[in-house]
Structure 1
């Protein structure tokens, strides 16, 4: 019986090639879209879960009250890990580590800028990286040692065994390679190419030796013996700052490592979500696209009901039961789904490199994974039975006497159900159009919103090696300006597009007692205002040419407002225990999130010891490529041992919008696929309606109706469906997009434009789709439909 049903299915597919192509193509696109989205969701969901005891591992977060709210970050004091290991119950391991930074690693003349972390031995016990060479129980104990990842080892030593060989760190320390590990998985929150002992960090950074509860300078991770200790451990963690430093109002908590990537958005000390919100959207999108593809199959299958009615009648007349007919149609559906899945696989494999490049990730299909094949099988069975269920029940219900006598099949219920399905499709399409439009408007608004300085033609050069010397930096600045490649040069204590370097140790006359205010603080060089293209609102600019401003600072407008200073110029500010004099007020400019208000900021004169970047304004009258080449040559003359680390500020600033760009891009692509598949569903309904009304249309033509009259008649019903879909979609879209926008301090107001675009596009799509079939029916010879009457 199975063989016979399969043969009938193949014949039907071959006999109706155009219909089969549309049906299989719609399902294939739906399945491919669903598979790519599920691959991306699985990739993001798998972050930090590859370690053996990941479920018992926690990141220590600090909740610091300031500015009337609670700030949360995973930066902790250097003494935190030891305190936790000794005094918090249920702790198996506690480790501190630096955050990844770029360092020069060299073997002979082979010099590589590599991502390095400093960590203690417990770090390796918590994160059980796979060791290729070396003893995991002995690493990170000796000061002058290092662990390499496999890829870095191959770059430095080729195929040679690197164990006990030496490398140079920053052209200073000679380190012995004591182990090689597999590359850190890309879906890890903590990534590096080499790992050095924490004792080496202390040796290189003497300021980090002293225990200091007020200096949050490292990452602390904790592994519990069992999760039953979590509640008690967190209760003790809460007061750890207060117990060790009088007046410190911060609190600590253990945050699950497996949630770190997806739930890193904190408000008032509690995780309120993060990237998980995007994953929920993409999961819903994947399900809806697949559902739309299934609806199309139903519509297209039942659209051909009259052509298969006689087949059903004959088979019932010769003894086939309804159960066997349902089996036949479900088999056809599953068979079409199988073919569609194969095509979907090809589409996924072809498109994955593009999406990987677009999203800057490494999605791939793991053909060895049992869970992958199990998910695919369930997806295929679900799709096959979902898509084939309604056609099977509907077609198998035909009464043989009526269909063999040529009587009209009652299809009112069928039409009603499929009209509802088409409305659902276009509700989803209209929601997508509105949401995508608002996401685009919000992203454009924030990107084009003034940020307080001119980021175009502004470049940053990382200070490395001998460049940190005072005289070398001054010389480099003079040479760059004299070359004509730049019009201004200044120095900054941190990347101008990055956050960090905050303090609450600021006091002034009139500060409310007991109130904690968080200030950004940055060291700047001379000509800072001119170089970055911001404004000096009042007073004068700091100078680092002489020591006259060594006890002076500048404030931004947000700081003046926060301090409620009536006369900010000359105001005495207590900063890090020293009284400073404010000599200028700088216009607010963005250094952290472009979506949030500018934080209060203090600028102090940087005397080279804490300069991390050189900021240069390119000469607009010079060729950019030749100017950059000139800058690179001058930097190499000062420090030939390091590769030039240079980037455009506007490109770095663009990285702040990565999540929103990702959401917008995926919504555009897969929203487009959903709309395209919806058009196929509309085409299915148009085919069905034309099939049902062909005699009516023929009579109208005989009575003198024009093609335009008939097109209007047929399109009118579908425009009604689309209008109903938009009426339902608009409130839903408004609720969804308003909730999304509420996360931003700077946001657009929702206008009527996205809704106008949605209804215009959906109506236009409906008219074009329906007209393709309607024109064919309207121009048909009425004799063909009426000759049997």
Structure 2
């Protein structure tokens, strides 16, 4: 019986090649879209779960009350790890580590910028990296030692044995390679190529030696003996700041390491989500696209019901039961799904490199994974049965006497169900159009919103090696201006597009007792205001080369407003234990999130030991490529031992929108696929209606109806369906998009435009799709439909 049913399925597919191609193509696109989205969700979900005890590992977060709310971050004092290991119940290991940063690693003439990390020995016990060479028990003991990843060791030494060879860190420290570990997978929050001892970090940064509970300068991770200790450990760690520093109002909490990537958004000291919200959207999108593809299969299969009616009648007349017919039609749908699945698999393989490049991730299919093959098979079988269930039940219900006599099949209920399904499809399509339009508007609004300075033609150069020496830095500035490549040059204590460097240790006359205000603080060089293209609201700019300005600072507008200063110029402010005088008010400009309000900021004259970047305003009258080449040449002349590390400021600024761009890109692509598949569903209904009404249309033509009036007649019902779908979709879309926008302090107002775009697009798509079939029916010879009457 199975063999016979398979033969019938193959014959039906071959007999209706065009119809089969549409059916298989729709399912293939739906399955491929679903598979790519599921691969992406699985990739994001797998973050930080590679380690043996990752479920017992926690990141220590700090909750700091300031500015009337609670700020949460994974930056902690250097004393935290030792205190946690010694006094928090249930803690097996605790480790402090820097965040990965870029340093120069060199071997002979090879000089490579590498992501490096400094950590203590507990770090490699918490994270059980696989050691390919070397002894894990001895790793990180020696201050002048280094652990390399496998691929980075190959970059440095090629096929030579790397163990016990030496490398140089920043052309200063000579380190011996004591171990090689496997490369850190891309789905890890902390990716590095070199791991070095914490003792080396202290040797290089003497200020980090003293324990200071007020200086948040590292990451602390802890591993529990068992998760049954979590509640006790979390309760005990809460007041760790108060116990160790009088007047410190901060609190600590343990945040699961496996949730760090997806649940990194905190409000009022509690985790409220993060990227997980995006994954929920993509999961819903994957399910809906698959559902739409299945609905299409149902619509297209039942659209040809009259052509299968006599077959059903004959088979029932010769003894086939309804159960066997249901089995046959389900086998056909599963068979079509398997073919579609193979096509989908090919589509996924072809498109993955494109999506990886587009999203800057590393999605790949693990052919050795039993989970992958089980999921794929389950998805195909589920799709086959889901898509084939309604056609199987509907087609097998025909009464043999009626169909063999040529009587008209009763289709009222079928048409109603099919109309409902089409409405559901277009509800989803309209929601997607509205949501995608609003995401695009919000992204454009924030990207084009004034940020307080001119980021175009602004270049940042990392200060490294000899460039950091005062005389060399001044020489470089002079040469840059003299060469004509730069119109203005200044220095800054931090990448201008990055956050960090903040303090609550600021006091002034009129400050409320016990009030905690968080201030960003940055060191600036001469001509800072002019170079970045911002404005002074009041006062004068400070100079980093003038001794008279050593105790002067500048405040931004947000700081003046937060402090309630009526006369900010000349105001005395106690900052880090020293009284300073404010001499200027700087216009607010964005250095952190472009979506949040600008934070209060203090600018002080930049000292040589905290200059991290040189900011260069390119000469507008000179070719950009020529200017960049000249800048690289001048930096190389002063420091030939380091590769030139520079970037355009607007490139760094673009990173701030990465998550929203990813959401918008995937919504555009897969929303487009969903709309395309919905069109196939509409085409299915058009085929069905045309099949049912061909005699009516022929009679109308005989009585004088023209093609235009017939097209209007056929399109009218479908436009009604689309209009109903939009009426249902608009409130849903408004609720969804309003909730998404509520996370942003700077947000657009939801206008009528996205809804007009949705209804216009859906109506145009419906008319075009239906007209493809309607024109064919309207132009058909009426004799063909009426000759048997």
Q: Could you tell me how far apart the structure 2 residues matched to 1:406 and 1:151 are?
A: 73
Alignment map for 1:452-467 (pairs within 5 Å): 452-467=452-467
Aligned counterparts of 1:136 and 1:409: Cα–Cα separation in 2: 76
Distance in 2 separating the partners of 1:335 and 1:769: 27
**2:696 corresponding residue in structure 1:** 696
Could you say which residue in structure 2 is the equivalent of 1:21?
21
- Which residue of structure 1 aligns with residue 207 of structure 2? 207
Gaps of 5+ in 2: none
Query: 1:755 aligns to what?
Result: 755
Cα offset for 1:378?
1.0
Residues in 1 aligned to 2:470 and 2:271: alpha-carbon distance in whole angstroms: 44
Query: What CA distance in whole angstroms lies between the structure 2 residues aligned with 1:82 and 1:608?
Result: 32
Distance of 1:653 and 1:84 partners within structure 2: 37
Instruction: State the SS of the aligned residue for 1:113.
Output: strand
Aligned-residue offset at 1:137? 1.0
Please tell me whether residue 613 in structure 1 is matched to residue 605 in structure 2: no
- Match of residue 726 from structure 1: 726
Write the distance in 2 (CA, Å) between the matches of 1:760 and 1:105.
Answer: 58
What's 1:709 paired with?
A: 709
Aligned to 1:154: 154
Q: What is the CA distance between 1:405 and its match in structure 2?
A: 0.2
In structure 1, distance between residues paired with 2:110 and 2:435: 51
Give the C-alpha shift of residue 544 in structure 1: 1.6
The equivalent residue for 2:551 is 551
- Give, in whole Å, the separation in 2 of the partners of 1:684 and 1:564: 67
Contact 1:470 1:607 in 2 (8 A): no
Measured in 2, the distance between the counterparts of 1:547 and 1:186 equals 48
User: 1-side partners of 2:691 and 2:99: how far apart?
Assistant: 67
After TM superposition, list the pairs within 5 Å mapping 1:508-523 onto structure 2: 508-523=508-523
Shift of 1:505: 0.2
d(CA) in 2 for partners of 1:661, 1:748:
16
Which deviations, in whole Å up to 9, do the C-alpha atoms of 1:550-571 show, x marking residues without a partner?
Answer: 0000000000001111110000
State the SS of the aligned residue for 1:754.
helix
Partner of 2:194: 194
Name the counterpart of 2:236: 236
Mapped partners of 1:104, 1:636: distance in 2: 15
In 2, distance between residues paired with 1:234 and 1:39? 34
| Structure-2 residue corresponding to 1:603 | 603
Q: Does 2:594 align with 1:594? A: yes
Following the alignment from structure 2 to structure 1, what is the Cα–Cα distance between the partners of residues 445 and 118? 40
1:228-627 aligned at under 5 Å gives the runs: 228-627=228-627
Distance in 1, matches of 2:40 and 2:723, equals: 34
Give 1:545 deviation, angstroms: 2.2
- Deviation for aligned residue 1:495: 0.1
Name the structure 1 match of 2:101.
Answer: 101
CA deviations 1:638-692 (Å, max 9, x no partner) are 1110000000001110110000000000000000000000000000000000000
**How many angstroms apart in 2 are the aligned matches of 1:724 and 1:98?**
57
| Contact preservation (8 Å) 1:299, 1:681 | yes
Distance in 1 between the 2:376 and 2:545 partners? 67
Q: What is residue 655 of structure 1 aligned with on the other side?
A: 655
Greater CA drift, 369-378 or 451-460: 369-378
Q: Which stretch of structure 1 is more off in the superposition, 464-473 or 509-518?
A: 464-473
| Alpha-carbon distance between aligned partners in 1 of 2:362 and 2:550, rounded to the nearest angstrom | 49
Counterpart Cα distance in 2 of 1:499 and 1:545 = 26
Q: What are the residue-to-residue correspondences of 1:97-176 with 2, within 5 Å? A: 97-176=97-176
String of CA shifts for 1:467-516, please: whole Å, max 9, x gaps: 11111111100010000000000000000000000000000000000000
SS, match of residue 537 in structure 1:
strand
Cα deviations by residue, 1:708-750 (Å, 9 ceiling, x for unpaired): 0000000000000000000000000000000000000000000
Deviation at 1:466, TM superposition (A): 1.1
Deviation at 1:547, TM superposition (A): 1.2
Asked if 2 retains the 8 angstrom alpha-carbon contact of 1:524 and 1:606, the reply is yes
| Structure 2 Cα separation of the partners of residues 393 and 33 of structure 1 | 28
TM-score of the aligned structures, taking structure 1 as reference length: 1.00
**2: distance between equivalents of 1:363 and 1:308?**
43
Q: Give distance in 1, aligned partners of 2:531 and 2:28.
A: 55
- Which residue does 1:59 correspond to in 2? 59
Residue 769 in 1 paired to residue 763 in 2?
no
**1:609 match: secondary structure:** helix
3-state SS of paired residue (1:515):
coil
**Superposed CA offset, 1:560-615 (max 9, x none):** 00111111000000000000000011000000000000000000000221000000
**Residue 244 of structure 1: CA displacement?**
0.2
Report the secondary structure of 1:693's partner residue.
Answer: helix
For 1:11 and 1:131, how far apart are their aligned partners in 2? Answer: 58
Q: Is the 8 A contact 1:467 1:639 kept in 2?
A: yes
Give CA deviations for 1:397-422 in whole Å, capped at 9, x if unaligned.
00000000000000100000000000
Q: For 1:121, what is the secondary structure of its paired residue?
A: coil
1:5 is matched with 5
* Correspondences of 1:627-706 after superposition (within 5 Å): 627-706=627-706
- Which residue number in structure 2 is paired with residue 738 of structure 1? 738
Distance of 2:781 and 2:390 partners within structure 1:
33
Could you report, residue by residue, the CA deviation over 1:108-140 in whole angstroms, capped at 9, with x for unpaired residues?
111111100000010000000011000111101
Which secondary structure does the structure 1 equivalent of 2:50 belong to? Answer: coil
For each residue in 1:230-264, what CA deviation from the matched residue of structure 2 results, as whole angstroms up to 9, or x when unmatched? Answer: 00000000000000000000000000000000000
How far off its partner does 1:546 sit?
2.1
Output the TM-score relative to the length of structure 2: 1.00
